[in-house]
Amino acid sequence: MKETAYWTWFIIAALVIFVIAGLHMVVMHLPMFGVFNPESGAVTDWGNVAFRSKNQFLAFTYIILLGAVLYHGFYGLRTIVFELGPKKSFQDGFTVILWIVGLVLFGIGTYAAIAAKALETAL
């Protein structure tokens, strides 16, 4: 039953990623949709980056995407490693390590998204 829960959320995370990362791709790589990139020039120019960082909606989707990708990716990694048939003790330890690393990375990414909201549009 526990595994059903893990797996179901793995699938839900996949769908979330499909939608949000799809949006992210459109924003970053199809500059003709200029809503989130008001400045002329590349999407990675500071003006555009600062604009996107201050946008509440994008900051929110970044955090959701971050959590979803970390969960989806680490569950997938865990599945692959488990299928290699390691010892039970290794499996338990590996799950704990993935949770810790995942939460730390989530913390870093979330901090960056929130801190970036305070940025001034430079120059």
Partner 1 sequence: MEKETEKANSITVYIRRFDPEKDAAPRQQQYTLQVEKGMTVLDGLHMIKQTQDPTINFRFSCRMGVCGSCGMMINGVPALSCNTQILDVTTTALTLAPLPNFKLIKDLVADLVPMFGVLKGLQLHIRRNDVEEMEKPTYEYYQTPHQLEEFLQFTYCIKCGCCMAACPTMATDREYPGPAPLAQAYRYNADSRDDARDARGDLVAASHGIFSCHYAGECSNVCPKGVDPARAIQLMKKDLVLSYFGLAKHKCAHLHKKPDKATYKAKIEAPPHTV
Partner 2 sequence: MANKQFDNHLGIVGWLGGGRWGVERYLYILQRLTGLGLLLFFMMHIFASSVRICGPESWAAAMKILKNPVLKLGEFCVFVLFSFHALNGIRLILIELGLAVGKAEEPVYPYKSSLNNQRPLMVIAMVLVAIIIIAGGYNTIFGSH
Residues of this chain that bind partner 2 (CB under 8 A): 11, 14-15, 17-18, 21-22, 25, 29-31, 42-44, 46, 49-50, 53, 66, 69-70, 73-74, 76-77, 80, 84, 105, 108-109, 111-112, 115-116, 119, 122-123
The answer to whether residue 89 forms part of the interface with partner 1 (CB under 8 A) is no
- Neighbouring residues of 113: CB distance < 8 A, sequence distance ≥ 6: 53, 59, 62, 63, 66
- Neighbouring residues of 98: CB distance < 8 A, sequence distance ≥ 6: 74, 77, 78
Buried b (16+ CB within 10 A) or exposed e, 34-49: eebbeeeeebeeebbb
Stretch in the footprint of partner 1 (CB under 8 A) among 7-15, 24-32, 42-50, 62-70: 7-15
Q: Closest CB to partner 1 among 9 and 51?
A: 9
| Type of residue numbered 48 | N
Q: Closest CB to partner 1 among 62 and 75?
A: 75
